[in-house]
């Protein structure tokens, strides 16, 4: 077992392990939205499956934290953007009318 520092705490990890393995072991709630730093460098999402961790590595998981969106302001913004509300998730739009996909992008 190797010792890593994960979010500031010591953690015993069986090597070899990739960033993706560590995400799984830590039961990260929304793995497709976590930002990961290894030794204080951000890791590209496409490297999560391949980047091998080493003894003593410092790993930080960073999570999105928003706040309390109020319904009224959402409706207001939608009105100004001219976006029609449909069920479920939808794609974003830029003001210039181009469709802008937020779904396929990475979230590192």
The residues of the shown chain that bind other proteins, judged by CB under 8 A, are: 7-8, 30, 33, 35, 37, 40-42, 44, 60, 62-78, 80-81, 83, 85-95, 100, 102-103, 105-108
Q: How far is CA 101 from the centre of its chain?
A: 16
Q: How far apart are CA 48 and CA 23, in angstroms?
A: 9
Smallest separation, CB 16 to other proteins (Å): 25
Smallest separation, CB 93 to other proteins (Å): 6
Smallest separation, CB 103 to other proteins (Å): 5
The DSSP bridge partners found for residue 3 are: 12
Contact of 19 with 47, CB cutoff 8 Å = yes
Q: How far apart are CA 6 and CA 60, in angstroms?
A: 6
Between 14 and 70, CB nearer to other proteins: 70
């Amino acid at each position: 077992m190797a010792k890593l520092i994960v979010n500031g705490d010591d953690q015993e990890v069986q090597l070899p392990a990739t960033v993706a393995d560590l995400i799984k072991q830590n039961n990260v709630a929304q793995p497709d939205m976590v930002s990961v730093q290894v030794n204080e460098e951000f890791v590209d999402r496409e490297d999560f499956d391949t980047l091998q961790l080493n003894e003593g590595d410092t790993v930080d998981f960073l999570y999105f934290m928003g706040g309390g969106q109020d319904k009224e302001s959402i409706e207001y913004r939608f009105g100004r953007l001219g976006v029609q509300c449909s069920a479920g998730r939808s794609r974003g739009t830029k003001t210039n009318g181009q469709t802008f996909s937020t779904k396929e992008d990475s979230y590192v």
